[in-house]
Every structure is written in structure tokens, then in C-alpha cells.
């Protein structure tokens, strides 16, 4: 596989569920990102990892918990979410965090919280 792969593509969960989103990049990049895309709002940066280390947490609620076990994999653990958290969650990677360069996005995970 090439590029950035996200699973699952669609997820429906209740407010008391615990689920995880997975992202894998096959580009040899060192930086990985989670973005939230909601209707009528700009793409919101949530987390940034550079060489597996978290370099930015953009004031994201603790019900979202990222994990980056290595430079190729990124997870977003979800628990006790709210309906307003329903959105498209996009994973992206880039060569490095310093000087963003080009972001390579996955196809996204469409999350619906009931």
C-alpha cells in the first residue's frame, strides 16, 4: 500500500462507547497529524507528532487521546464523546514538522456520535 491509510472509514458510536481510529503512512515521513473537519468550519489541527513525540496538542478535550507508537502509525482513542464530536477526522503526514511542506492526507474516518 502507498500513501496514508485510515481505518475505519465510517464509525457510529454511542456516547458511552470506547473506540479507536487508526492511521498508517507508507511515505517514510517523520511527522503525523490529526485534523477535525466539521461542516462550515475550517480544518482544525488537533495533534502533531514529530518522530513519535507529541509536539502540539491544540487544546483538545481529554476524551480524545492520541497514541503514536512509531513514525508510521498514529491512533486516536475515543471515549465518552459528545454528539458535537461528530465529524470527519483526517490523518496527515509530512516529511517533517519544521517547515510543514506538503501535507499528505488520508481519506478520513467519518465519525457519528449518537
Partner 1 sequence: TQLLEQSPQFLSIQEGENLTVYCNSSSVFSSLQWYRQEPGEGPVLLVTVVTGGEVKKLKRLTFQFGDARKDSSLHITAAQPGDTGLYLCAGEAGGSTLGRLYFGRGTQLTVWP
**Site residues (CB under 8 A) for partner 1?**
4, 40-43, 45, 56, 90, 92, 97-100, 102-108
Which one, 53 or 102, has the nearer CB to partner 1?
A: 102
Contacts of residue 46, Cβ cutoff 8 Å, sequence gap at least 6? 33, 34, 35, 36, 57, 58, 60, 64, 66, 76
CA–CA distance, 21 with 96 (Å, rounded to integer): 22
Q: Minimum distance between the CB of residue 35 and partner 1, rounded to whole angstroms? A: 8
Q: List the one residue out of 27, 28, 34 whose CA is nearest residue 49.
A: 34
Q: Minimum distance between the CB of residue 76 and partner 1, rounded to whole angstroms? A: 15
Which one, 15 or 54, has the nearer CB to partner 1?
A: 54
Which one, 16 or 41, has the nearer CB to partner 1?
A: 41
Amino acid at each position: 500500500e502507498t500513501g496514508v491509510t485510515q481505518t475505519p472509514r465510517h464509525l457510529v458510536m454511542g456516547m458511552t462507547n470506547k473506540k479507536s481510529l487508526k492511521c498508517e503512512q507508507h511515505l517514510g515521513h517523520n511527522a503525523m497529524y490529526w485534523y477535525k473537519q466539521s461542516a462550515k468550519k475550517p480544518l482544525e489541527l488537533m495533534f502533531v507528532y514529530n518522530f513519535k513525540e507529541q509536539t502540539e496538542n491544540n487544546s483538545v478535550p481529554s476524551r480524545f487521546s492520541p497514541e503514536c507508537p512509531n513514525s508510521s502509525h498514529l491512533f486516536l482513542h475515543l471515549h465518552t464523546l459528545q454528539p458535537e464530536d461528530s465529524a470527519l477526522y483526517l490523518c496527515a503526514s509530512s516529511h517533517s514538522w519544521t517547515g510543514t511542506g506538503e501535507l499528505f492526507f488520508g481519506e478520513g474516518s467519518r465519525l457519528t456520535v449518537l
